[in-house]
Structure 1
Amino acid sequence: MKLVLPFVLLLAFGTPAWGQAVDSQGAKQLSDDLSRYIGKKALDSGILKISADGDAYRIAFDFNALIRANPSKDSLTFNLAPFAMLVKPRSDGSWSVSSDLAPNAFVDVEGPHGVRFSVSGSAFSGIYDPGLAVFTSGAGSMAGMQVTSRDPKEPMDLSVGAGTSSLNASKSAGGGVDFAMTQTIADFVETAIVDEGETGLKVPVTMKSPRVSAEITGNGVHTRAFLDLLGFAIANQDEASLKANQAELKSLLTSALPLWERLQYSYRFDGMSVASPAGNFGLADLSATTGIDGISDNGKIDCRIEATGLTVPQRLLPSWSAALLPTDIELSFGGANLDLDSMLRKAIEAFDLNRDPPLSDEFGETLIADFMANNPKVVLGHSTVKNGNIEVAMEGEMTFPGKKPEARMIVDVAGYDKIVQTLQTAAKSDQQAAQAFSFALAVKGFGKALPDGRLEWVINAKADGSVTVNGAMLKQADPVQDDPLTDPSDATAGDNGGAGAKLQP
């Protein structure tokens, strides 16, 4: 369903609400309107066929026609019939869309690098609003899906059980569309053969999860602008037409900004196990979230990864390390002060498709300099690594003054004495532990005791190469490098008649 549903969204994305009558003339009008976004070739070659079907229009997809129009050197076998959507006009100008997308379908690409994709019991229904160019509601389901790759080097089998999806959208107060889409699948299983390269070993790895879910949300998404750009791309597929109409392209690109206000994508594995010859790895829960601002003069990107209940095969680690191995991890990172708006607007205004390249290297360097002038930063948000009573927390940021990195990070640890004691005990019989124990003592010497018993390290790395920890100098600034081609003692007017510095051989 994850692969099939976007196809339906794309088809319905361009469906215009031109009228409510359902007849052959209406089917022709709908075909003409859709051709702006899919091209007349898809209709003329029979890939898409639109006809009246009772009180709705049937949009049928013919895979045989697609293969004839796009021949491939690899043999292709498929069973995707029936594949059709019913779109029914509603009194409010929207459309009801429904389809048994793939009741029992497969696509099989033959050959040494072939792949077989199959899905069963997949269906979708929803309401499409042509004014917003988006589904305002929708729901989908499938009975199962399988993907098999026959790559001779790293074959793979993927299967999932029953799944459901839903989506909702509405007009955004600030313009564009707000939407939310969720998807859940059961019984995720992926088996792959990992090629170890020079050793020639083929290592089987199987990953399982009883439940996987995903969610995508968007605020202020410029769906209509995307649709206009799609129409322009279809109408200007040849190079001459694209060059002749680049003024329109620039206008459409500018109108599409900032693309969206905010997009966020997250997924979650409710339990995960990984079986390999080295043993079994496990997680009680794994999730990841990424948020991206639209194009702005002060945008940001946020990423967060959370994992709990980590277990690893004991034979891979020395016995003393079990008490120190992280079991729960929260990692937050991203970027801030990202001025992409100025860059894109200047690039849109300056590019010329009649030049090669459309933008000069010098212009690109200017854009980068302007971007860096806004002081972009890499941000490490509050992140933690835990095991029982031991917790390592950290946060910080990095900037690039003068094109050189400068960073500040704060690290604090609860239970540091337990770390030292564990290493001290293990050091009596393990050389690695002995080395780690010496390092842990040295690090503790730089730490600052906090009222709650934690130890804290404030680390500052300057652009000149110097590093301090809690104010103590750990590394001096890098020496200033003179230009090896010049000798300052020769840069006098008397030495060369005022011609400046001499080049040294």
Structure 2
Amino acid sequence: MKRVLPFVLMLAFGTPAWGQVVDSPGAKQLSDDLSRYIGKKALDSGILKISADGDAYRIAFDFNALIRANPSKDPLTFNLAPFAMLIKPRSDGSWSVSSDLAPNAFVDVAGPRGVRFSVSGSAFSGIYDPGLTAFTSGAGSMAGMQVRSRDPKEPMDLSVGAGTSTLNASKSTGGGVDFAMTQTIADFVETAIVDGGETGLKVPVTMKSPRVSAEITGNGVRTKAFLDLLGFAIANQDEASLKANQAELKSLLTSALPLWERLEESYRFEGLTFATAVGDFGLGDLRATTSIGGISRDGKIDYNIRAAGLTVPQQLLPSWSVALLPTDLELNIGGDNIDLDTMAKKAIEAFDLNKDPALSDEFGDALVADFMANNPKIVLKHSIVKNGNVELAVEGEMTFPGEKPEATMTVNVAGYDKIVQAVQAAAKTDPQAAQIFPAALAIKAFAKTLPDGRLEWVIDANTDGSVTVNGAMLKPADAVQDNPIMDPSDATVPDHGSGENDNGGAGAKLKP
């Protein structure tokens, strides 16, 4: 709430403030303006109070009034001073904003699923431009935060130390707003009890990181369109009004497209550790980034995960496998040719709130068919897993021609011989390694040796169900019912010209 409420309120400050004198009539006018986006009930019941406070307006959120207006069946214990914002009109039409977001607050909900939280020393200040419906600048800080959940199955305790945040925005050349937000917190600690379900086990896990950071950026975000939709939702809360004004809703939804050009969020955990009953797992650096395009005809989604310095309790692994354990990885996966624009516009045009359902099943099926006809792709971009001796790289893509998947993937490995040697040596005394060794040889037999010494496997999965590896048939087409999956010993290994697979010139058979 402390994060969302300020931005909902500030989005609603659409009245320019040129030369405005702060007084009681101005507070009344501001209340009327805000009521369009938060509803008159919030003002009439005292949940929100707006008053003149010197040269600024004070907006107070009263939690007591909120509880009275929305009584809970579970008894509540809380100590929340009214949330307050001071907004001061500036000569250029923008507003100066300042607030103690949640000083020394807690809410305690009685019962088996109670939650208690507290935030200390939290404050925010910034400049809001009603013409952009966005903050052009802002900065926040807090001294710390604690959250405790008493869920009977999976209780959780979370605490973080001091944190800071910044944000800024400017007009986008293509329409909408470009913005950037950053946040950094120290001393992240979360302890949870993982429920083992039918096993009855309760496993405690503690996750720690001395520093957690986040970055969120957006291009061409249609903030004004979101504000208009918010106003419509408040004005049409009952079903009859919503049905009667659905033409306006369709117009507002269409105007909001494509929602944004691009949104990207990135999170980073430094020195991350997981303390468990079986030992400590660790990551020196973990980063995750998500990038999502707006609703367009050629939309894209990209996910990137990077992890470095992976450690696991060695007692969990066979001793021979420790040297082969990956220490670093980078995964890049996404989607291309995602035509959400056509789907969205057709759905907006076709839905009818006077019918149940508003969109027929037949329409939904046709919409999915149109979406698939654009040939959307799942793309695995260059991704790697490595340790000091071995590096595995993989990339590929999957499409769905005729609603059946078709995929190609290229895998290459540097240091594969070190894997085989380690498994071979361990096979003399370790039954598990002895079982793995033949498979390791079989996999190598399918490989193509590249000029730099890497081994490569190009895997093709076709719509008929057949799978080949470097041209060798691993699985025939689904039409073959008598032997749908070939034994590796019966697979023909392609000749790559190196001579290593020759068998008297008669076409080598894989015999590990």
TM-score (norm 2): 0.92
> Aligned-pair distance for 1:434?
1.3
5+ residue gaps, structure 2, are 482-512
Kept in 2, the 8 Å contact 1:85–1:98? The answer is: yes
* Residue equivalent to 2:171: 171
- Alpha-carbon distance between aligned partners in 2 of 1:373 and 1:173, rounded to the nearest angstrom: 32
What whole-Å deviation, never above 9, does each CA across 1:136-171 have from its counterpart, x for those lacking one?
110000000000011122111000000000001000
> Aligned-pair distance for 1:113?
0.6
What whole-Å deviation, never above 9, does each CA across 1:31-89 have from its counterpart, x for those lacking one?
00000000000000000000000000000011111001101101112112142100000
- Alpha-carbon distance between aligned partners in 2 of 1:466 and 1:200, rounded to the nearest angstrom: 43
- Alpha-carbon distance between aligned partners in 2 of 1:447 and 1:162, rounded to the nearest angstrom: 53
* Residue equivalent to 2:375: 375
Alignment of 1:326-341 (within 5 A): 326-341=326-341
* Residue equivalent to 1:392: 392
Kept in 2, the 8 Å contact 1:16–1:30? The answer is: no
What whole-Å deviation, never above 9, does each CA across 1:329-388 have from its counterpart, x for those lacking one?
100101110000000100000000011111110000000000000000111010000011
Alignment of 1:156-195 (within 5 A): 156-195=156-195
- Alpha-carbon distance between aligned partners in 2 of 1:230 and 1:315, rounded to the nearest angstrom: 56
Q: Does 1:435 align with 2:435?
A: yes
* Residue equivalent to 1:350: 350
* Residue equivalent to 2:302: 302
* Residue equivalent to 1:155: 155
* Residue equivalent to 1:473: 473
- Alpha-carbon distance between aligned partners in 2 of 1:49 and 1:4, rounded to the nearest angstrom: 17
* Residue equivalent to 1:422: 422
Kept in 2, the 8 Å contact 1:466–1:475? The answer is: yes
Kept in 1, the 8 Å contact 2:137–2:166? The answer is: yes
What whole-Å deviation, never above 9, does each CA across 1:104-131 have from its counterpart, x for those lacking one?
1111111111000110000000111111
3-state SS of paired residue (1:154):
coil
3-state SS of paired residue (1:300):
strand
Alignment of 1:251-262 (within 5 A): 251-262=251-262
| One-letter identity of the residue aligned with 1:285 | D
Alignment of 1:69-80 (within 5 A): 69-80=69-80
* Residue equivalent to 1:5: 3
> Aligned-pair distance for 1:389?
2.4
| One-letter identity of the residue aligned with 2:94 | S
| One-letter identity of the residue aligned with 1:468 | T
- Alpha-carbon distance between aligned partners in 2 of 1:195 and 1:100, rounded to the nearest angstrom: 38
3-state SS of paired residue (1:209):
strand
| One-letter identity of the residue aligned with 1:432 | Q
- Alpha-carbon distance between aligned partners in 2 of 1:152 and 1:238, rounded to the nearest angstrom: 37
Give 4+ residue runs of structure 1 displaced > 6 Å after superposition. Answer: none
| One-letter identity of the residue aligned with 1:219 | N
* Residue equivalent to 1:14: 12
Q: Does 1:35 align with 2:35?
A: yes
* Residue equivalent to 1:46: 46
Kept in 2, the 8 Å contact 1:17–1:94? The answer is: no
> Aligned-pair distance for 1:6?
2.6
> Aligned-pair distance for 1:16?
2.2
- Alpha-carbon distance between aligned partners in 2 of 1:477 and 1:471, rounded to the nearest angstrom: 14
Kept in 2, the 8 Å contact 1:17–1:89? The answer is: no
> Aligned-pair distance for 1:480?
7.1
Larger mean Cα displacement after TM superposition, 133-142 or 3-12: 3-12
What whole-Å deviation, never above 9, does each CA across 1:183-219 have from its counterpart, x for those lacking one?
0000000011122222322221111000000010000
Kept in 2, the 8 Å contact 1:225–1:252? The answer is: yes
Identity in percent: 81
* Residue equivalent to 1:133: 133
Q: What is the RMSD computed on CA atoms of the aligned residues?
A: 1.0
Kept in 1, the 8 Å contact 2:16–2:94? The answer is: no
* Residue equivalent to 1:496: none
Alignment of 1:91-130 (within 5 A): 91-130=91-130
Q: Does 1:143 align with 2:134?
A: no
Larger mean Cα displacement after TM superposition, 206-215 or 12-21: 12-21
3-state SS of paired residue (1:74):
coil
- Alpha-carbon distance between aligned partners in 1 of 2:266 and 2:5, rounded to the nearest angstrom: 21
* Residue equivalent to 1:68: 68
Count residues in correspondence: 479
- Alpha-carbon distance between aligned partners in 1 of 2:161 and 2:5, rounded to the nearest angstrom: 21
- Alpha-carbon distance between aligned partners in 2 of 1:234 and 1:151, rounded to the nearest angstrom: 33
3-state SS of paired residue (1:271):
strand
- Alpha-carbon distance between aligned partners in 2 of 1:123 and 1:259, rounded to the nearest angstrom: 30
| One-letter identity of the residue aligned with 1:32 | D
